[in-house]
Structure 1
Amino acid sequence: MSINKNTLYVAAITLVATLGGLLFGYDTAVISGAEQAIEVYMINSLGLGSFAHGLTVSSALIGCIIGGIISGFFSNRIGRKNTLMLAAVLFILSALGSAYPEFLFFNVGEPTFGVLIMLNLYRILGGVGVGLASATSPTYIGEIAPAHIRGRLVSWYQFAIIFGQLVVYVVNWSIANGQSFAWIVDRGWRYMFASETIPALLFFILLFLVPETPRFLVSRKDDSQAFNILEKINGSREKAKEILSDIQLSLSKQQTTGKLFSYGKVVVIVGILLSVFQQFVGINVALYYAPRIFETMGAGQNASMVQTVVMGIVNVIFTIVAIQTVDRWGRKPLLISGSVGMAIGMFGVATLAYFDVFGLWTLIFIIFYTASFMMSWGPICWVLLSEIFPNKIRGQAMAIAVAAQWAANFFISSTYPSMIEFSGALTYGFYGVMSVLSAIFVLKLVPETKGKTLEQLEKLWIKNRHISLPKQHRS
């Protein structure tokens, strides 16, 4: 197989898998355009407060936690590919149900507590799909990708998340543009939710065209099929044989029992902390509540939607920066520099909030903050999570790390309305402090994984499973 065909084959597989990321971004950000209408249509009409509003905005995250927890079970039992297909089905059901929560049980146009519950249940269902996809898509890409371009390919997953968010920002703006807020409250928010059906259906169909990962196939004793895929991916029979041999050894009984902590506790703890810090820096507050944040800065409703689209474009650009540099500069330098940039951005917003100053500088600091995240913690966290876990425990360890990520996301997102009511300065200052701590964590605990095969990284943990840090981080 020629190099061009090999590259094209890997790129095509990655493109399909990253649609899981696009739907991740689409599903979690679609609420940004609909949340104010839902607040008026349901929350206010039912006499509920900011807690119910925050819970409704972030209810999908409950499903994300559930999806993350069960992702290891499905990924190991039915395979990476079939787990993604299950996620696609859940995306479709959630999109239709969220747009029409009255289906079967209630009358359209009559907001009741029961309708609100059904809306949240459909959002939770979509969240389960997001949880499954967020654990399985990067795992799939990481197990498919050749070592020398793995960082770049997994980073495209984050690009897809941000692109999905940008797409839904544009879709939400297109639906709301030229319409009265009363129309959005009446039906516009339904169109926003329903629009997700299109990419979800496309994802489901395209998954029929991609293979299962070689590492899962070897775990199911299908070595011949795994070899064929490895040959297509790497473009060389000799390289395919070498990698297949390493995979077989890593999954053999000679290595470890395959229990969660059989490679030591550090690798699991590092994965969990990567996930938690990615959320505790506050990125999803900026994404979920972007239009509302810009409105508090003096922008009108339509202008705030436009500024959100601008922020989405900036996010896409700086994610591309990470894609172009992750396999050259390495994972750690990008994470640390991103943490510093996020700290500057959030402390800047906190200072302006303290002096009750909102305007252009607030927008600049928010964009600087999100740009710093998108060139670092956004894509690189997923790259590291797809790399650091050994083959035998990857499914269950990834499930725990992703569940922790969504639990942290839920905590940060659901507490934001109450926190911002108490103090904007302290709220954004907290995210700034978390950014500083994330830099210290990376410097002290996170290994550099650039250019290593998954099996080489596994050997690192095997050699050092009885000590507190990977060998390369001891002086």
Structure 2
Amino acid sequence: MSQPLAQQERFNTARVVQLATVAALGGFLFGFDTAVINGAVTPMRNEFGMGAGLTGFVVSSALLACMVGAYAAGSLADRLGRVKVMIIAAVLFTISAVGCGFAFGPWDMIFWRAIGGLGVGAASVIAPAYIAEISPASIRGRLGSLQQLAIVTGIFVALLSDFAIAAAAGGGGEPFWFGMAAWRWMFMAEVIPAVVYGVLALTIPESPRYLVAKGEHEKGREVLARVLLTGVDERIAEIKRTVTRDAKASLADLRGASGKVLPIVWIGIALSVFQQFVGINVIFYYSATLWQSVGFTEEDALMQTVITSITNIVVTLIAIALIDKIGRRRLLLTGSAGMFLSLGTMAWIFSQAPLVPGPDGSSMPVLGDTEGVVALIAANAFVVFFGMSWGPGVWVLLGEMFNNRIRGTALGVAAGAQWLANFAISTSFPGMAELGLWFAYGFYTIAALASFFFVLRYVPETAGKQLEDME
């Protein structure tokens, strides 16, 4: 019944794109906040006199806060509304940016980074939920992919901002405006997009599905009427059918009649974990270090990092063009197959590379000219296949695969699992690399293969379905 209705829907394209773009600004800050520390790590470490362990925790502590923020945002979104959580996230981003800029030592830096992590976690939940709930079914995948496009754009802008500030000051540790070190201004640059996000969030309406769930049916209808040109009453009727007035979702709602966690929740958690277990953030967090460790110069390694971030933006645009045409499942399956082949190639090359003593006494692989080129191609192929599939695809699915009753809470749990998996993979890579880069990439290869069969067996196709038809 609803498939033909989804196909016949007429809508105000400009309006719905505007709403989705504002919501996706949370994704931009998500990417900016997680990447901005890259340019500040070394000068900050030198100024605070931190060892390697403490420096690592300053960087990774934000990921644990992201997990808490994602979990809390899911419940808050169901209680306070989607827009209010966006505003809360914007405030957290602003406080974190200023706090990090004026930090006087590692321990308060950890605190301010954690505040930003709460904002990142909240943004990772609220943007896909709002976009899914405001979008017409026929273009929901493309609009949901704006979240991933915003994330990778935020990463790129953060790296560019760090470079520009360091270049203007003559180095990240050199004094810049008002005598403050340049690395501090790298953090404070985030104030600008954070304030813009908060101000624009005040201009968009609340999700119609949230309003109906709260019994504000007429307000929900008014919001939906600004987006849909046809079928507004039918859509409101279906929303009413799938939500309970004044009900507040909780963790208990994620369990079925048997008392066990609903299968769709486990699928969402597994999608989140697989997205991280293929090792994508190793490429973004450690790529410069990785390429230097196998013989590339620092300049060449940094250039590869920039190329990787640009590549990720381009392939996300490809995903936006494809996701509603070929469906979510086919996109994920294609991505899993491509990641398996590219990661397997890297694992094989590193397993065959001769080892030589490194500067710190540990053994490091050395790639020949041919092997180095193949490894670079494979690494960028991995980014291409991830960026056109699992990058945007998982966020789209998490925003739409849960029913109206549990969407906010279930999305919060799944996103929380994603941040925990991110933390586990990011912190385990140095230890795995000590055993051998072949071992680390071998693990990611196995995860990519497992993700293929998981999607094939368990992940439902949601393209073209109304949110009210999600079980």
Bin the TM-score by the shorter chain.
0.7 to 0.9
Partners of 1:201 and 1:421 in 2: how far apart? 42
Partners of 1:92 and 1:381 in 2: how far apart? 28
Matched, 1:17 2:23: yes
What's 1:360 paired with? 373
Partners of 2:70 and 2:339 in 1: how far apart? 26
User: For the structure 1 residues 177 and 352, does the alpha-carbon distance in structure 2 shift closer, same or farther, using more than 3 Å as the test?
Assistant: farther
In the TM superposition, what are the counterparts of 1:213-228 in structure 2 within 5 Å? 213-228=207-222
Matched, 1:244 2:241: no
2:42 to 25, 36, 58: 36
Identity among equivalent pairs (%): 39
212-221 or 280-289, which deviates more: 280-289
User: Contact 2:155 / 2:309 at 8 angstroms: preserved in 1?
Assistant: yes
1:56 to 55, 58, 63: 58
Aligned partner of 1:156: which letter? L
The alpha carbon displacement at 1:181 in A equals 6.5
- What are the superposed Cα offsets for residues 250-305 of structure 1, whole Å, 9 maximum, x if unpaired? 0148x999821238621110011011111111111111223322333444444433
User: Contact 2:342 / 2:379 at 8 angstroms: preserved in 1?
Assistant: yes
Matched, 1:89 2:79: no
Aligned partner of 1:10: which letter? V
Matched, 1:320 2:311: no
If the length of structure 2 is used for normalisation, what is the TM-score? 0.88
What's 2:283 paired with? 286
Partners of 1:213 and 1:303 in 2: how far apart? 46
SS at 1:59 equivalent: helix
Partners of 2:287 and 2:27 in 1: how far apart? 20
User: Contact 2:40 / 2:172 at 8 angstroms: preserved in 1?
Assistant: no
- What are the superposed Cα offsets for residues 152-197 of structure 1, whole Å, 9 maximum, x if unpaired? 1001111100111111121122233473465399933222212111
Partners of 1:246 and 1:5 in 2: how far apart? 18
The alpha carbon displacement at 1:455 in A equals 0.8
User: For the structure 1 residues 294 and 201, does the alpha-carbon distance in structure 2 shift closer, same or farther, using more than 3 Å as the test?
Assistant: farther
What's 1:195 paired with? 189
157-166 or 337-346, which deviates more: 337-346
In the TM superposition, what are the counterparts of 1:32-431 in structure 2 within 5 Å? 32-42=38-48, 45-46=49-50, 48-49=51-52, 51-102=53-104, 115-177=105-167, 179-180=170-171, 183=174, 187-236=181-230, 239-252=231-244, 259-262=253-256, 265-354=262-351, 355=353, 356-358=365-367, 359-431=372-444
Aligned partner of 1:170: which letter? L
The alpha carbon displacement at 1:29 in A equals 1.3
What's 1:465 paired with? none
Partners of 2:98 and 2:435 in 1: how far apart? 36
Alpha-carbon RMSD: 2.3
User: For the structure 1 residues 184 and 297, does the alpha-carbon distance in structure 2 shift closer, same or farther, using more than 3 Å as the test?
Assistant: farther
- What are the superposed Cα offsets for residues 192-216 of structure 1, whole Å, 9 maximum, x if unpaired? 2121111111101111110000000
Partners of 1:438 and 1:69 in 2: how far apart? 24
User: Contact 2:30 / 2:154 at 8 angstroms: preserved in 1?
Assistant: yes
Unpaired runs of 5+ residues, structure 1, are: 103-114, 459-475
What's 2:3 paired with? none
Partners of 2:406 and 2:10 in 1: how far apart? 34
- What are the superposed Cα offsets for residues 407-456 of structure 1, whole Å, 9 maximum, x if unpaired? 11111112222222332111121111111111111011000111000111
User: Contact 2:213 / 2:244 at 8 angstroms: preserved in 1?
Assistant: no
Aligned partner of 1:194: which letter? M
What's 2:6 paired with? none
User: Contact 1:173 / 1:306 at 8 angstroms: preserved in 2?
Assistant: no
Unpaired runs of 5+ residues, structure 2, are: 1-8, 354-364
Aligned partner of 1:153: which letter? L
SS at 2:40 equivalent: helix
SS at 1:392 equivalent: coil
User: Contact 2:72 / 2:412 at 8 angstroms: preserved in 1?
Assistant: yes
If the length of structure 1 is used for normalisation, what is the TM-score? 0.87
Partners of 1:360 and 1:121 in 2: how far apart? 42
